[in-house]
Amino acid sequence: MAKDKSLKPDANPPKKKKRTSLANKDHVEEMMDGKVQKKRKKMEVEEPPVQIPPVIFTAGDKKQKKDKKHKKKQMTEQTQMTKQTEISDPPCRPEGSHKLGGEEDLSPEEVRVLERKMKKILKKEEKKRLKSEGVTEKTEASEPTAPQQALDYLTCWAENRAEWKFQKTRQTWLLQHMFHSEKIPDEKFSVLLQYLEGLRGGARDTTVQKAMVLVEESGQAPEDSAAQQRAHRAREVIQLLS
Model confidence band, residue 73 (pLDDT cutoffs 50, 70, 90): confident
Does residue 228 carry a pLDDT above 50? yes
Separation of alpha carbons 110 and 152, rounded Å: 40
Identify which of 177, 167, 168 has the alpha carbon closest to the alpha carbon of residue 147: 177
pLDDT of residue 112: 83
Q: What is the CA radius of gyration of the chain?
A: 56
Q: Rounded to an integer, what distance in angstroms lies between the CA atom of residue 83 and that of residue 85? A: 5
DSSP-assigned letter for residue 12: S
- Does residue 209 register a pLDDT over 70? yes
At 75 the pLDDT is 76
* Distance separating alpha carbons of residues 41 and 119, to the nearest angstrom: 83
DSSP character string of 16-65: PP-HHHHHHHHHHHHHHHHHHHHHHHHHHHSPPPPPPPPP---HHHHHHH
Better-scored residue on pLDDT, 131 or 66: 131
Residue in 183, 181, 159, 182 with CA at minimum distance from that of residue 236: 181
Domain tally, the chain: 1
In a domain, 207, yes or no: yes
pLDDT over 90 percentage in the chain: 31
- Rounded to 5 degrees, what angle do the CA atoms 72, 77, 82 make? 125
Mean pLDDT of the chain: 75
Q: Is 112 inside a domain boundary? A: no
Cβ-based neighbour number of residue 146 at 10 Å: 12
* Residue 116 predicted with pLDDT over 60: yes
Helix axis angle for 225-241 and 186-196, nearest 10°, is 30
Find the mean pLDDT for residues 40-55: 57
Poorest-confidence range of 24-28, 194-198, 220-224?
24-28
**What's the full length of the chain, in residues?**
242
Q: When comparing pLDDT for 162 and 56, which is higher?
A: 162
Dist CA 96 CA 10 (whole Å): 142
Taking residues 2-20, report their average pLDDT: 50
pLDDT band at 100 (very low <50, low <70, confident <90, very high): very low
Rounded CA separation 237/234 (Å): 5
User: Is the predicted pLDDT of residue 147 greater than 60, yes or no?
Assistant: yes
| Residue 53 predicted with pLDDT over 60 | no
- Residues whose CB falls within 8 Å of the CB of residue 86, separated by 6 or more in sequence, listed in order: 101
172 assigned to some structural domain: yes
* Domain extent for 190: 146-241
- The amino acid that residue 59 corresponds to is A
119: amino acid identity, one letter: K
User: ∠145-150-151 over CA atoms, to 5°?
Assistant: 100
Q: Is the dihedral of CA 165, 185, 177, 191 positive or negative?
A: negative
Residue type, 228: Q
Reported confidence tier of residue 141, pLDDT bands at 50, 70, 90 = very low
DSSP structural state of residue 184? S
> pTM of the predicted model, to two decimals?
0.43
